[in-house]
Every structure is written in C-alpha cells, then in structure tokens.
Amino acid sequence: ANIHTMMKGLAVTTLLCISNVSAFAPTTVRNANSALNMKAEASRRDVFEKAAFVAIGLGTSSGFVPAAYAAGSPPSAAELERIKIGYKKIAYLLENFDQETTVCKENGGECKRDADPVRRYMGLRSTTDPLFQIEKVFAKAKYMDIDPDKLEDFFEATEDWNTAVNMSNSMAFISQFGEYNPGGGKDEVLKYLEEAKKQVVLAEASLKRIMNCLEIE
C-alpha cells in the first residue's frame, strides 16, 4: 500500500514538473538555424511528455486521475480524419511536385517556380487546411489507448514532424524571395525549393508513422 501511494505521488510530482518546465519552452521557429535548435529543445520536452504518459498510466491503474487530465478527451473522428486527409494531400504534392510548384501567367505567359504551395499543403497558410495546427490533435493522443510498444515511435515521429514542418516552411519562404535577394536568382529559387521538398518527404514519412501508431488506416 505504501509503494502504491508513493507511485501516485510520483505521478502528481511529475505532472507538476511538466507544467513548470513547459511554461518556459520556446515555441516559435523563425529561420532554418533556429529550427535545428528547436529539435534539441523538443527532445528535452519529449522527456517530460513521456513522463506524463507514465504518470497517467500510474494514476489510471489505481483509479486516480490527476485533475489536469481528467477533463481531457481523445481526438474526435473528424480530427483523426484531418490527419488522413493531410497525409493524402502531402503524398499528392510529392507525386506532382513540379506541377504544383509551377505558376504560369495566363494566355501562355511566362512560367516560374513558386514554393508557396509547399506551405499550403503543410497546413501553414489557412485555418481551413486539414493540417493546420495538427500538433494540437497529436497532443490529444495522450487520452487514447495507444499500444505501449508504439509510444516511443509516436513521440519520435511527432518530433520529426515538427522539425520537418518548420524546416519546409523556412526553405519555402527563402525560395519565394530567392530571386530578389542580393546574389540571388532563379538558381537560388530552385535550390531552396528542392530543400523544401526534402523536408516534405521527411514530413510525409513522419505522418505515416504517426498514423500507424494511432491506427489510422
């Protein structure tokens, strides 16, 4: 009984630590370099998030659920469907990348490459995009009955997703203005557009892993 009480106390203490630490965690990535720094920071936060899952498991196994988690709910069917639709849209972008990132003027006018569709497909341009702030849906996964053997992969996949989204956003943004920057030109546009594509490939793979962990077919 004493051990059981100690475990419950550990769960509460862990949750309090998570709450205090997350308040100081940076959430904005403004350029490619800071995106890489964010990956290291995300790894530190990941430790606390995993601890939260352990804490929840200890609490629920004894009938004790911390108040901070009691009111939570798992993702709705519509939210999980957003992940599925978003994945299909990213797959479509990669299959038709040159076409989707090429814009031509009307009546047979000049064509040029444009990286803005990358940001749109990744859910960074409109609140109506299926992947817009999809991280909030991932966060609700702590209320789902996820296979314990898949937890590690789920955390790693969401971390990889966040990094790929931020990097693709940065590369696409640089590409959009590559022709106008000093020393820039069409070659710079293509260079960073290809870098953005590489990140979309990584994002697609990460989202596929997340779907597998959440058993989204």
Q: Dump the DSSP string for 108-148.
A: T--EEE--HHHHHHTT-S-TTSTTTTTHHHHHGGGGS---G
Question: In percent, how much of the chain has pLDDT > 70?
Answer: 65
Q: Which residues contact 216 (CB under 8 A, 6 or more apart)?
A: 80, 83, 84
* β-sheet bridge partners, residue 102: 113
Model confidence band, residue 39 (pLDDT cutoffs 50, 70, 90): very low
Half-sphere exposure (CA, 13 Å, Cβ side) for 200? Answer: 33
3-state secondary structure of 104: strand
Contact 176, 114 (CB under 8 A): yes
Mean pLDDT throughout 12-40?
42
**Model pLDDT, residue 23:** 36
Helices then strands (H, E): number in the chain?
9, 2
83-98 pLDDT, tens digit per residue, is: 999 999 999 999 999 9
The phi and psi torsions of 179 (rounded to 5 degrees) equal -75, -20
| N-term to C-term CA, the chain | 42
Question: In percent, how much of the chain has pLDDT > 90?
Answer: 56
- Between residues 57 and 128, which one has the greater pLDDT? 128
**Model pLDDT, residue 61:** 37
Cα 148 off chain centre by: 21
> CA angle, 193 as apex, 189 and 194 as ends, to 5°?
120
Cα 11 from Cα 13, distance rounded (Å): 5
Model confidence band, residue 9 (pLDDT cutoffs 50, 70, 90): very low
Model confidence band, residue 109 (pLDDT cutoffs 50, 70, 90): confident
114-150 pLDDT, tens digit per residue, is: 999 999 999 999 999 999 999 999 999 989 999 999 9
Range of weakest confidence among 33-47, 60-74, 116-130, 164-178: 33-47
pLDDT of residue 80 exceeding 70, the answer is yes
Model confidence band, residue 50 (pLDDT cutoffs 50, 70, 90): low
3-state secondary structure of 71: coil
pLDDT of residue 2 exceeding 60, the answer is no
pLDDT of residue 165 exceeding 60, the answer is yes
Cα 173 from Cα 177, distance rounded (Å): 7
3-state secondary structure of 103: strand
Model confidence band, residue 217 (pLDDT cutoffs 50, 70, 90): confident
Mean pLDDT throughout 197-206?
98
Provide Rg for the chain, Cα atoms: 21
Cα 166 from Cα 164, distance rounded (Å): 6
**Model pLDDT, residue 13:** 43
